[in-house]
A and B are shown apart, each in its own frame.
Chain A
Amino acid sequence: MELLNKWPIYYKKDVISHYCPGCGHGIVHRIVAELLEEMDLGKQAYLVCPAGCAVLAYNYFDFDVIESAHGRGTAIATGAKRANPKLFVISYQGDGDLSAIGTAETIHSANRGENICVVFINNAVYGMTGGQMAPTSLIGQSTMTSPAGRSPDVDGYPLHITDIVATFPGVTYAERVSVSSPAGIKKTKNAIRNAFQTQVEGLGYSIVEVLSPCPTNWKMTPAKSCKWIDEEMVKEYKPGLLTDKREEKRKERA
């Protein structure tokens, strides 16, 4: 008997994660570990963990991981990559982390075109702290701090941070994907592969926004959460390529 889905070498075996049942973080972790193995980047990998549910990601990945203060992932990633360009640097961040408290770091690292990869988990809430409204929460979305639904009059509009940074000349690759279906998971892996390749070639900043279920705070079953992404979340955050300047940058650097 041959095992068809081999365990990724950069993911610790037989460790049970703290993630809730059906949480998208686990799917994206696996994809990151698989790609580091497939692209032979594990030995030089350096992943920056956020404050958020992925705060304990260092317990699961079997390569170098550092912990960041809330929102500062891309500042740490910048320092690491500049100090040692041989490192393969990933900043893994949630939507509260990346698009609320970390807005300044996100915008400026992207604008500087740092040669780093950002994996951005958008679950439309502050997951770890109990499901408060995030800048990414949808209009009408009921959260801990918007029980009657997010109202634009009081709370403003869903923030499209990836679309914003995609307009920057320094942002070489930006894509929005979703892990709500096998097809979406396949696209997510392809997008993160392209983002990783961008850094490998020294072409600048790359970011992949992943629409990701948080069944616990959405108060839905995992299957319903996937449906909610496909039916509601994608209306606000349309999956697709936001920018790909790799060819342009290759020519510039040639």
Chain B
Amino acid sequence: MSKKDKIFTVKVRRDFCKGCGLCIAFCKKEVLGVSAKLNRMGYHPAEPVKPEACIGCLMCTQVCPDLAIEVYSE
């Protein structure tokens, strides 16, 4: 199966996210946005807003200083 046919799922570990917004700024596919709700630390974490657009490029995981993002493929 080529990368193109794969389905990617991005997950933000809500309570480990500090809401810095770097993943949102660097995701070219605008998959991620800001959650309206606060997390345990009192930050507005990132959350997938257009999950189906994820291409599994892992840029978000590279820029996240807090290892708060997981990207899965199936």
Contacts and interface: CB of A to CB of B under 8 A. Distances in A.
B27 to A, nearest CB: 10
Interface stretch (A126-134, A219-227, A229-237): A219-227
Given A5-B58, A16-B41, A223-B22, A27 B63 contact: yes
A2 B9 CA distance: 10
A187 B65 CA distance: 16
A3 B25 contact: no
A220 to B, nearest CB: 12
A182 B18 CA distance: 19
B18 A21 contact: yes
Contact of A226 (B8, B9, B25, B61): B25
A128 B55 CA distance: 38
Interface residues of A, number: 29
Given A16-B41, A21-B19, 19 more contacts: A1-B9, A2-B73, A4-B8, A4-B72, A4-B73, A5-B61, A5-B69, A5-B70, A11-B67, A14-B16, A19-B66, A21-B43, A26-B64, A27-B63, A185-B63, A221-B21, A222-B20, A223-B22, A223-B25
Contacts of B67: 7, 11, 26, 30
B22 A222 contact: yes
A167 interface: no
Given A16-B16, A27-B65, A30-B67, A1 B22 contact: no
Contacts of A182: 26, 59, 62-63
Contacts of A7: 67
Which 4 pairs between the two chains have the least Cβ-Cβ distance? A26-B65, A22-B20, A21-B20, A21-B18
